[in-house]
Amino acid sequence: MDLFRKRHAVMCFLSNDTVSGALVPYAGSSARPDLFRLDVGYDPEEETLTDYPEARCLQLIRAAVGISDLSLQLKTVQAWEMAARVADRFQQERVFLVGNAARVQPPTGALGGNTGIAEAQNLAWKLAAVQRSETKQGLLATYDQERRSVADFTVEQVTLLSQQRQIEGSAGISVDTLIVNMGYRYNAGAIVQEDDENLSLVQSPDWWTGQPGTRAAYRARTPGQADLDAGPVRFPLRLADRSRGTELEGRCPQHKDTLHFPLDIYQIGNDAGNLLDASGAFCRSYGVTTTGAVIVRPDGFIGWRSLAGKADAEQALTQALSALLFRSPLSTFDMQQSQH
């Protein structure tokens, strides 16, 4: 454990004449500070779990650690399948696939848990909005539309990373998991697209500047210095200028009446708005001017932005939210819902 701590390592891939695999410490529990897991591979067509009795496991662990008389206690022996698969569809009527049910990937490439959490986050606010009659069922179809292409890309990249680790070692790794996990963009779904045919689908997360479909950067801070975060099922509207915020905030009740949804408005700027941004980082990171506005979805992705203020700001906001929620502001559906 000391070696892992000294090297700031979370796992160790190893290979010698007796064993090849990964050694992983379960850190963080004072009750069991010396608990480790050793992963070794076998071909299921040639062996099963019964071919790994306690004596063989102890021998493999000692060979992995490199101490032949290491005192050990074996907790458990389990098997898991290394696979790379994505389901053909993530939705079948009222059933949605999330996490490993939707996709599996080699853990030697990582991101299985992260991707599952992102899938759940993408689906949860959509289900909540439909459940509360704030939107139509059509919004739910955007779960598959947005997440399945990300799953295809993630599984492909993670499988490549796994192969690079196995065949070429650390020096041969070209896949960047930060980019795979955080740098993608939704190019269809519950977003209001901008016209830019040359826009990349994936790049370093730091390179995005507020394009709809990308992750919202958490730049502005409250006067108490807490980070601004997306609420669980509300739409934060981020405004670059206080006066514009006040103007739109005054009209917000109308949006609630006509569109029947919760909307939080934050004004971001230099002077005593809701959120401080003395350095102008907000405008730079979101690619807007000081009269611009951004709608961040409840899952933290940018749904829409206006680069600069418009004369018909109220109409633009209504249209953007209607598009995000798959609603028409004056439809019969909305009028019926607003009477509830």
Ligand X SMILES: Cc1cc2nc3c(=O)[nH]c(=O)nc-3n(C[C@H](O)[C@H](O)[C@H](O)COP(=O)(O)OP(=O)(O)OC[C@H]3O[C@@H](n4cnc5c(N)ncnc54)[C@H](O)[C@@H]3O)c2cc1C
Strand ranges inside 138-288, DSSP E: 235-239, 263-269, 275-276
Smallest gap, in angstroms, from Cβ of residue 79 to ligand X?
A: 10
Structure tokens at 294: 């951004």
Structure tokens at 7: 């090297």
Pairing of strands 235-239, 263-269: parallel
Segment interacting with ligand X (CB under 6 A) among 105-113, 148-156, 264-272, 306-314:
105-113
x/- letters, 22..51, toward ligand X (CB under 6 A): -----------------x------------
Sole binder of ligand X in the list 110, 151, 192, 324 (CB under 6 A): 110
Closer to ligand X by Cβ: residue 108 or 267: 108
Q: Which of residues 116-135 bind ligand X (CB under 6 A)?
A: 116
Closer to ligand X by Cβ: residue 116 or 309: 116
Smallest gap, in angstroms, from Cβ of residue 245 to ligand X?
A: 38
Position 99 contacts ligand X (CB under 6 A): yes
Sole binder of ligand X in the list 114, 177, 193, 328 (CB under 6 A): 114
- SS3 assignment, position 40: strand
CA dist 329 and 256 (Å) reads 11
- Characterise 140 by phi-psi region: left (phi > 0), alpha (psi -120 to 50), beta (else): alpha
Smallest gap, in angstroms, from Cβ of residue 36 to ligand X?
A: 12
Contact 34, 23 (CB under 8 A): no
Q: How many CA atoms lie within 13 A of 192 on its CB side?
A: 20
Segment interacting with ligand X (CB under 6 A) among 112-120, 149-157, 189-197, 277-285:
112-120
Position 177 contacts ligand X (CB under 6 A): no
For helices 112-131 and 138-168, the axis angle rounded to 10 degrees is 180
Neighbours of 279 (CB within 10 A): 10
Smallest gap, in angstroms, from Cβ of residue 15 to ligand X?
A: 17
- For ligand X, the binding residues (CB under 6 A) are 39, 80, 99-101, 107, 110-114, 116
